[in-house]
Amino acid sequence: MAENTQTNTIINLLPPDLSKDEGLAKDVANGLSQYPKKLSSKFFYDARGSQLFQQIMELPEYYLTELEHEILERQRKEILFAFGTQSPFQLIDLGAGDALKTKLLIKELVQSETDFTFVPLDISKDQLQELLQELSQTYPDLKVTGLAAEYFQGLKWLNEHSTDRKLVLFLGSNIGNFVPSSAQQFLCQVRESLSPQDRFLLGVDLKKEPEKIRQAYDDAAGVTSAFNLNLLHRINQELQADFDLDKFQHFAEYDPIEGTMRSFIISKEDQEVQVQALNKTFHFDAWEAIHTENSYKYTLKQLKEMALHCGLRIEDVFTDASHGFADVLLKPV
C-alpha cells in the first residue's frame, strides 16, 4: 500500500449523513410514486438489515453462502496461486459485509506471511466498523484499510492513492442484484479500474433447480421475510413514516427463463402511508406490490460473453462439487 494511504482505519467517502438520508428519501419518493412501485435493494443494509442478512447466510435453504464457502475453503490455495501473491498487493473486497468467506483467504495469506493489505469496501459504515474491530482482535498485525464508499467511488479512490497490484473480490453473487444490462456495465467499470497485472474474482450463483433457488429467498423460518420488510422499518425510522409491517407481506418468485429471482413487498390491504420527511402520503391498493430485489442466476457461457464484451477473459473457474456456484477469476485483456 502506498505510504499516503492509512491502514487500520476507515476512510469515509460517503456523503455526510444528511445527504445519505437524501439517498433513501429520493429512492422512496421516486420508487413509491411510480407503477409498479419499487425500492432499491441497496437500502437493505442498515445495522438491523446487516444482522438479518448474517442470519440468512446461516439458513439451511440459503445454499449460496455454503457453496461459495466450500469453494474458498477447499480451493483457496489454488485461487491465490492463480493470482500470484509474490509482490505486495491489495485484497479489495467490494461489498465486504462481514467478509465471512474472504476471511478464508485472509487466514491463508496471514499463515503464509504474504505482504498484502486488506481493503474491505462497503456502503454500510456500521458493518465495516464491526469487521475492522473483529479483524484487529484476530490479526493484530494485519494491514486493513476500510473504505466506506459506493463501489466505484472506492475503486477510483484506490487507484488515485495506491499503485499496488489488486485482487478485486465481488463475492456472494452480488452481481446478481443488478439487471443484466447493469451487471454488464458493472463488469466494464471494474475492468476500467484494473491494470494488466490485476485480477477480479467474481462469485456467481449458477442456474439450477428452480425450487431450490426459490426456497433460498423464502425460507421456512421467515428470516428473509423479516429482512425484506426491514426496508419499511428503516423508512419508518429514518424518514418518519408510518408503515404498519403487519399490513405487508414478503413474496418471492423465480423465473427460470430469465433466470431471475424477484422479491416483493405486498400490501395486504388498501391503505395509505405517510412519510413525514417527504411530506407525502402514498396509496397502496390491496395486493399491490413493491419490487425490492432482483437476483439473477447465470450460466458460465453467459458470464464468459459478458466478461469478454468488457475486455475481461476467464482465466480460471472454481466451482463447488455440485456446480451450483462459481468463483470466476477474470483477467484484463
Could you list the residues that contact ligand SAM (CB under 6 A)?
42, 45, 53, 95-97, 100-101, 122-124, 127, 150-151, 171-172, 174
For residues 97 and 332, which CB has a smaller minimum distance to ligand SAM in the complex? Answer: 97
- Which residue, 5 or 50, has its beta carbon nearer to ligand SAM? 50
**How many angstroms separate the CA atoms of 158 and 333, rounded?**
21
Minimal distance in Å, beta carbon 276 to ligand SAM?
26
* Contact indicator for 59, 219 with CB cutoff of 8 Å: yes
Report the candidate in 68, 71, 122, 72 with the shortest Cα–Cα distance to residue 94.
Answer: 122
DSSP 258: T
- Nearer Cβ to ligand SAM, position 168 or 265? 168
Peptide bond connecting 196 to the previous residue in cis, omega within 30 degrees of 0: no
Calpha distance 202→166 (Å, rounded): 14
Number of residue whose CB is nearest ligand SAM? 172
When the beta carbons of 149 and 273 are compared against ligand SAM, the nearer one is 149
User: Of the two residues 94 and 273, which places its CB atom closer to ligand SAM in the complex?
Assistant: 94
| Separation of alpha carbons 136 and 132, rounded Å | 6
Tell me whether residue 173 or residue 267 sits nearer to ligand SAM (CB atom).
173
* Residue 282 beta carbon to ligand SAM: minimum distance, rounded to whole angstroms: 24
Cα torsion at 67, 69, 71, 75 (round to 10°)? -160
* Nearest distance, CB of residue 123 and ligand SAM, angstroms: 4
Query: From the CB of 147, what's the least distance to ligand SAM, in Å?
Result: 9
**CA 227, 230, 232 angle in degrees (round to 5)?**
140
Closest separation between CB of residue 286 and ligand SAM, Å? Answer: 32
Instruction: Kindly state the smallest distance separating residue 180's Cβ from ligand SAM, in Å.
Output: 17
- Scan for cell 497485472, then name that residue: 197
Q: What is the CA radius of gyration of the chain?
A: 20
Q: Contact 90/7 with Cβ under 8 angstroms? A: no
In this structure, the number of other CB atoms found within 10 A of the CB of residue 9 comes to 11
Distance in Å, CB of 285 to ligand SAM, minimum: 30
Compare residues 170 and 284 and give the one whose CB is closer to ligand SAM.
170
